[in-house]
Structure 1
Amino acid sequence: MNVETESAGDLPHENYRCGAVALVGRPNVGKSTLLNALIGFRLSIVSPRPQTTRHRILGIATSEAGQVMYVDTPGLHRGAKRAMNRSLNRAARTAMAEVDLAVQLIEAGRWTDEDEALYAALVEQNVPRLLAINKVDLAKDKGALLPFVAELTARHQFEDIHYVSALKQKGLKELESAILKRLPVRPPVFGEDEITDRSERFLAAEMVREQLMLRLDQELPYATTVEIEQFTDREDGVAEIHAIVWVERDGQKAIVIGQGGAQLKAIGSAARRHMERLFERKVFLKLWVKVREGWVDDEAMLKKLGYTD
């Protein structure tokens, strides 16, 4: 997203700030939870599994002080051999190149090779960066964080360091303040009531995929994706949505459907409830499960599904 080409008029006041901020980190470190907490809305899907986020998600937080466009990015995947993983890496790196600031999120007390690779990518892009140490509420010995941070900052340069719990929403006010003061003086890009630039069609697919991530065992969720075939607002005010759950093998299809269709029904019911809260209207959701062998390595299929730019 290039915010420099967009404008929403005059500055609301002389020190109004507006800019794009990438939330970056290795998979499953809490980026989506942090995004949702910062914008005060459950926008980005969350599950305990790594690689939940597959797309760049823009979440908009507007206040009297300014407008922050947070970009939740897929985690960088080392040794990405499959086409989809390479696509996720491209999405993450592109986001780094298009923002005014990056917040690197790490887990309290842990700095892995993946964290190091991500830091190197930020340095390469010459992006101003803050460090947010997440899950501090889970650290048994908080005093042990001090030498960890001292060693980390001796070898890495960050403009500021923040201790947060995205899940418990601790330390976020200070992080927000640090972000805003580093953004340029610029008019808002979006209206004050807007929370994302993503369509309801895209969000519907994500909410179905979230339920797949939450309800299916082990590696199966990574072999699934969701395509919205139809999204129609009927005359009675109901949003009618038809979606395909794509899997790679017939055995996976049987698992997603479940005995007597029970699993697919549970996935659809939970996704529909989330959609109705988000879209603020009734939803009629119909799901099908189809097999497309090797879709995660099919560049044409990935493009169709929105995984490539």
Structure 2
Amino acid sequence: MAKPTLDQWRMFKAVVEHGGFAGASAAVFKSQSTVHHAVQKLEAALQIKLLEVKGRKAFLTESGKLILRRAEFLIEEANKIESVANTLSEGVESTLKIAVDEVFPQPILYQALAKTSELYPLLKIDLIESVLTGANELLNNAVVDLAISSVPIYGISCSKLTDVEFIAVAHKNHPLNKYEEQLSFRDLKQHRQIVVRDSATHTNQDEGWLGADMRWTVSHLRNSIDMVSQNLGYAWLPFDQVAHLINDDTLKVLNLEQGITRPLNLYLMCNDVDRLGPAAQEFKDQLTAIIAAE
């Protein structure tokens, strides 16, 4: 007896997803009789009943439910293999799409992009700045090829890149810098904090200690830096992005009892490393090498 084919599995899955043979026929661009015959051959090969037809609707049997779960994994893996093959056959990708958390050190990012572009001068770079889980959402929705985020996604290719040190700062003339004693969190609650909003559309998470009663929430890290520099509040900011403002005495590090600094780990992620094109692989390697040499 002939073994089930991948096309038969796909047609079976389409029948389930579209509730019947008519909908499946339109979805897979096959005649209704072809889809019906494929499911019959599948059932004959497996010697079990997968579907029960009631009127124009098709319903999974208990055995069908179990088989479908396994079939979905098989189809997903087959799609990945086909995608990898397409990438290899097409050669270098025309566009590299990357989501990067705004706290990632920009000199490292720009250096990796420049080195990648030297090897692939016709490559288009689509860089999307994000905050917190914004990069994760873009990766999950297949909007980008790579994501740099502080929130790791488990079950995919995910490796730690580096960590960024955040430091509590305020303008040199801010009232918090007039205290003679070390500042407690109770002291901080009496003043406005600037925090950065998560750029993902389906979450409601902000960046920073959220104990402040007075709080301004902004969408970009640069807005937070500007506001703190104009003495509009205090914030925890990446040290490497405000070091020059501390050095020229625009900002001062808050003298806290605890938590003056805190590290934030950053991760490089992609859904499937085997599906990355050569330019994406090169960028990934360049980024890792530059950080290792730091």
TM-score, normalised on structure 2? 0.25
The structure whose residues are more often helix, as a share, is 2
Pick 1 or 2: higher relative contact order, CA cutoff 8 A, min separation 6.
2
